Structure 1
Amino acid sequence: MSATAGARKRGKPASGAAAGAGAGKRRRKADSAGDRGKSKGGGKMNEEISSDSESESLAPRKPEEEEEELEETAQEKKLRLAKLYLEQLRQQEEEKAEARAFEEDQVAGRLKEDVVSGGRVTQHLSAQIQAPASADIRVLRGHQLSITCLVITPDDSAIFSAAKDCTIIKWSMESGRKLHVIPRAKKGAEGKPPGHSSHVLCMAISSDGKYLASGDRSKLILIWEAQSCQHLYTFTGHRDAVSGLAFRRGTHQLYSTSHDRSVKVWNVAENSYVETLFGHQDAVAALDALSRECCVTAGGRDGTVRVWKIPEESQLVFYGHQGSIDCIHLINEEHMVSGADDGSVALWGLSKKRPLALQREAHGLRGEPGLEQPFWISSVAALLNTDLVATGSHSSCVRLWQCGDGFRQLDLLCDIPLVGFINSLKFSSSGDFLVAGVGQEHRLGRWWRIKEARNSVCIIPLRRVPVPPAAGS
């Protein structure tokens, strides 16, 4: 077959193919001779030109040009490295200066944050507290039965109280009026407004004031929107009465404990259950937590206080009380206070398995001569990161204590007269007042009934003695 006939069979004109072949031959000759003339071909020829340009960049250079370029490159390299080094030094010094300025600006804020989040900063406020007069105590009445628990919103604007009548009331701190009432729910009533159908034993509010949690004898934990008191959802899982609730500060992680001897962890924001921890040998009576991922529990009649390290799923066990440990509260991240029905109040350090200080018969004795029994300690509270502690019983008073000598002793400051069972105590965030939940009966039972007591929320102002100015100021 001829070349022309072959070209036609491939669908290309013979003249074009021949021209392309000739051009290819001319190009190879031109490259070998150093000729850089332009081709007259189409797109394919343009692609070949591009390849030629790459080969040109790789063409050998004259020795004189290489020496010249090498000398210039060496000088430029030295200059460039010197400039780069100086620039790096300048940037490092600027970063150090910015870091120092940032740290200095953050010192005050960090100290405040430590106080709020439960750091080790301890303020000695107890010596400044002045005993309030009985006429200064504000009494809020609205529950029909004994108050069992209460919480204060983080901004100190409102109080939530709950009682054996299964109701929850939100009070205005300023006016003392009811802002909202969550009524008792009837058992088995579907489609009705949600609420508790049995005694509410514990409550907790998140540190941002968004969520309120309440637990009752019916094994339920109800989650509410704190601002509107709207019911969000219900947590189930405990096998007995829910006796303690606490939010981890700065989060929406909720800890709960129960008479079923367990501690459970929940994520309120995601409406989810996380895990369950076991260890107590009897019904757990109370619980508290701060910003660390751990909580502390009062073990009731098993006679132990336990610190639960949630990530490690481990626990520290503390012994010291002789009776049932019914209440507990963290003072800071390193210390806590607890009370028992043997009348003792204990100060604990998390590094010691025994109390740093133990005040026996903290509220005195009751009964006939020869048959005296100590007043049960029914509630304790501590003003966060200070040395001020409050205890309640049914001895007709609330007592304020000073944690002295590095939390190694408890010194009585004053008595605040209040008749009835002091079932719950809470300090305001500012430390300007103490709120007490008072009832005719103990929050966990009906062993005694004090008829002259009033089921009420009592707001106790805490006035501070002016600190004298330092000499020479």
Structure 2
Amino acid sequence: MSSFFTVPGAQKKRKRAPATDGPKKRVATTKTSKTPSKPAPTPRKRVERDESISGSESESDDDVVQPDAPGSDSDSENEGETAAEKRLRLAERYLENVRQEVDETGFNAEDIDRDIIATRLQEDVAETKGKVYRKIASKLAVDRASHTLFRCNTLATTSIAICSPFVYTVSKDQCLVKWKLQDLPAYQFPQTTKKKPKKPPAPPRRQPIKVALRKGNRSKANDKNYQGHVAEILCVAASQDGKFVVTGGADKRLIVYDAKSLKPLRVFTHHRDAVTGLAFRRGTNQLYSASKDRTVKVWSLDELAYIETLFGHQDEVVDIDALAQERCVSVGARDRTARLWKVVEETQLVFRGGSIDKKQKPEIDPRSLAHEGSMDRVAMIDDELFVTGSDNGSLALWSIQKKKPLFILTQAHGLERPLKPTEASAETAPTPKVVPPPQPRWITALRTLPYSDLILSGSWDGYVRVWRLSDDKRKIEPAGILGNPSTTAADAPQDAETTSTAVNSPNAASWLVKGIVNDIALFERGERGKDGLCVVVGVGKDHRLGMWKKIKGGKNGAVVFEVPRTTTTTTKQPGLENGVADEGKGSENKIVR
């Protein structure tokens, strides 16, 4: 069997072209061709192989001149170039194409920098490592957010889940509703041409469209074959791939639905008490569930199977959150602990709360700095940082490296209206000493944008407040209020009414969220949020877990906030804080609508 190594040496040699002036050009000997060989053209002056750029001998074939693709430079110009010269020519062509696209579309330098491959790779690596790598809180015009209320339930909305462009809401009347969010109007996008339209586009329908509804039945409580809820639905979660929607309720049931049709696929009854929280592991169909039976359970929805149970909390587990790694964080209400569960290692880290910083607000009555009684909400920022919200109105920032919080922001949503002496006592002429100090409003909803510095919280003061993580990742700073340009994060309405009085205060008319914020969900519009942020808030007259707090005059339903992005100048202007200009002051901000 003849081969290259067995044929005579005379046959192995290939005929070379007649020698020409100038340095000799090395020709690859590993390639064969049936086409007749052509004499090599006169090479350029620099035709030596640049070993420092190529880096390996595997690119020696590049020295053999190959014809370029159609539409490229002529063969006569490219035949004599080396591998390094070819790479340089292709890079120059790529940059020229980028310049042409910039001239046509009118993108600014920030958009170009954001699309550079090196920057993208750095962000992807940072997200893989699970660390904060995006600072977008200052790039959102939170005070100019538009909002609209939508509803179809008679009782309070308890939880919300988003799988863009669909939103899933659940309520205390056993309803699971699927909504489709409206697309942003054309005038909210950056103009790609200099020509202005003759007529402005018609405003689109702002309210989401109801796609499907699934309602439970209390009368089926004794029917073991019934695939629905027979009590209040307390939580909902949607998978990122759009396949599954899961709900948990006070009936101890965890039900998996097909996301398209809301058809029940499986009903799990493993929990021994109400299911209060659900969270998907980011990018997978692994599910974590929290319950009042003091346990956290792990599920695999690809197989529709139960995996294991995590024990450790000493009280009801009321909320849970997870990111990409196989771990989750839960809070245990009155045991005042947050626990990080490492599922693979079968270990847990315990973070104990209960402490408050009385030096943070010395001007306030120390009795109003209530002790932490219940840790109710948790949200992960990245794989090392998370935040919790409590019934004493405090937001706490935690790191997995420390057992105590890094920072505690007290009275995040302000204080309740102080009672009058006649309201605090049944006496005809009570003294002011019987009046208790005003108490802070609870943190009833908490959400973060993963791997970014954006944090949102809710209570019953009528607003959804926006916070940001400081640059040193050790503090929580106010960044504004959704849709309210005239009020800053510091001056909350101090006369928000509760059950005892009607909503007739001067600030009640300016409330954007009339009721208790029971849950918050969000997603970014466009690629990496270039078109802003969409925030959906679940609202109810009463708290999602009980009837001990009721807002008279509140509404049951949900509110959609569309938050545009803002482009700021490099220099900080007077009156500019956190990327948002104060009302009534000059600024160089340009709002993209």
Give the shorter-chain TM-score range: 0.7 to 0.9
**What is the CA-CA distance between 1:445 and the residue it aligns to?**
0.6
Pair 1:421 & 2:471 matched: no
Q: Deviations along 1:252-303, whole A, 9 cap, x unmatched? A: 1111110000111111111211111100000011001111000000111100
CA pair 281-435 structure 1, distance change in 2 beyond 3 A: same
CA pair 228-109 structure 1, distance change in 2 beyond 3 A: farther
CA pair 93-237 structure 1, distance change in 2 beyond 3 A: farther
AA in 2 matched with 1:130? A
**What is the CA-CA distance between 1:386 and the residue it aligns to?**
1.3
d(CA) in 1 for partners of 2:272, 2:226: 24
**What is the CA-CA distance between 1:250 and the residue it aligns to?**
1.9
TM-score (norm 1): 0.74
**What is the CA-CA distance between 1:185 and the residue it aligns to?**
2.4
Instruction: Select which of 123, 135, 141 maps to 1:124.
Output: 135
Instruction: Select which of 163, 166, 185 maps to 1:158.
Output: 166
Higher percent of residues as helix: 1
Higher percent of residues as strand: 1
Q: Secondary structure at the match of 1:249?
A: coil
d(CA) in 2 for partners of 1:111, 1:181: 42
d(CA) in 2 for partners of 1:353, 1:111: 31
d(CA) in 1 for partners of 2:242, 2:122: 22
1:118 touches 1:385 (CA, 8 Å); kept in 2?
A: no
Pair 1:437 & 2:445 matched: no
AA in 1 matched with 2:155? L
Q: Secondary structure at the match of 2:217?
A: coil
2:292 touches 2:316 (CA, 8 Å); kept in 1?
A: yes
| Residue in structure 2 matched with residue 355 of structure 1 by the alignment | 405
CA pair 464-192 structure 1, distance change in 2 beyond 3 A: same
1:204 touches 1:214 (CA, 8 Å); kept in 2?
A: yes
d(CA) in 2 for partners of 1:298, 1:131: 29
Structure 1 residue ranges (4+ consecutive) displaced by more than 6 angstroms after TM superposition = 115-118
1:118 touches 1:384 (CA, 8 Å); kept in 2?
A: no
| Residue in structure 2 matched with residue 294 of structure 1 by the alignment | 327
Q: Secondary structure at the match of 2:138?
A: helix
Pair 1:197 & 2:230 matched: yes
> How many positions carry a matched residue from both structures?
383
d(CA) in 1 for partners of 2:211, 2:377: 29
Instruction: Select which of 254, 264, 269 maps to 1:236.
Output: 269
d(CA) in 2 for partners of 1:91, 1:193: 67
1:258 touches 1:283 (CA, 8 Å); kept in 2?
A: yes
Structure 1, unpaired ranges of 5+: 1-72, 77-86, 96-100
Q: Deviations along 1:375-394, whole A, 9 cap, x unmatched? A: 01001011121111111011
Q: Tell which structure's C-alpha radius of gyration is larger.
A: 1
| Residue in structure 1 matched with residue 460 of structure 2 by the alignment | 394
Pair 1:145 & 2:155 matched: yes
**What is the CA-CA distance between 1:312 and the residue it aligns to?**
1.3
The correspondence of residues 237-256 of structure 1 with structure 2, limited to 5 A, is 237-256=270-289
1:117 touches 1:249 (CA, 8 Å); kept in 2?
A: no
d(CA) in 1 for partners of 2:227, 2:147: 33
d(CA) in 1 for partners of 2:226, 2:209: 22
CA pair 111-160 structure 1, distance change in 2 beyond 3 A: farther
Q: Deviations along 1:37-64, whole A, 9 cap, x unmatched? A: xxxxxxxxxxxxxxxxxxxxxxxxxxxx
CA pair 406-263 structure 1, distance change in 2 beyond 3 A: same
Percent identity at matched positions?
37
| Residue in structure 2 matched with residue 283 of structure 1 by the alignment | 316
Q: Deviations along 1:198-227, whole A, 9 cap, x unmatched? A: 111111111212111110011110001112
d(CA) in 2 for partners of 1:327, 1:93: 59
1:169 touches 1:181 (CA, 8 Å); kept in 2?
A: yes
| Residue in structure 1 matched with residue 446 of structure 2 by the alignment | 380
d(CA) in 1 for partners of 2:390, 2:396: 9
**What is the CA-CA distance between 1:232 and the residue it aligns to?**
0.6
1:210 touches 1:225 (CA, 8 Å); kept in 2?
A: yes
Instruction: Select which of 538, 548, 551 maps to 1:447.
Output: 548
AA in 2 matched with 1:149? S
**What is the CA-CA distance between 1:229 and the residue it aligns to?**
1.3
| Residue in structure 1 matched with residue 178 of structure 2 by the alignment | 170
Pair 1:264 & 2:311 matched: no
| Residue in structure 2 matched with residue 335 of structure 1 by the alignment | 385
CA pair 403-91 structure 1, distance change in 2 beyond 3 A: closer
Structure 2, unpaired ranges of 5+: 1-5, 10-29, 31-53, 60-86, 88-115, 183-206, 355-371, 420-435, 483-511, 572-593
Q: Deviations along 1:21-50, whole A, 9 cap, x unmatched? A: xxxxxxxxxxxxxxxxxxxxxxxxxxxxxx
TM-score (norm 2): 0.60
2:340 touches 2:348 (CA, 8 Å); kept in 1?
A: yes
d(CA) in 1 for partners of 2:130, 2:524: 15
1:148 touches 1:443 (CA, 8 Å); kept in 2?
A: yes
| Residue in structure 2 matched with residue 187 of structure 1 by the alignment | 219
**What is the CA-CA distance between 1:117 and the residue it aligns to?**
6.4
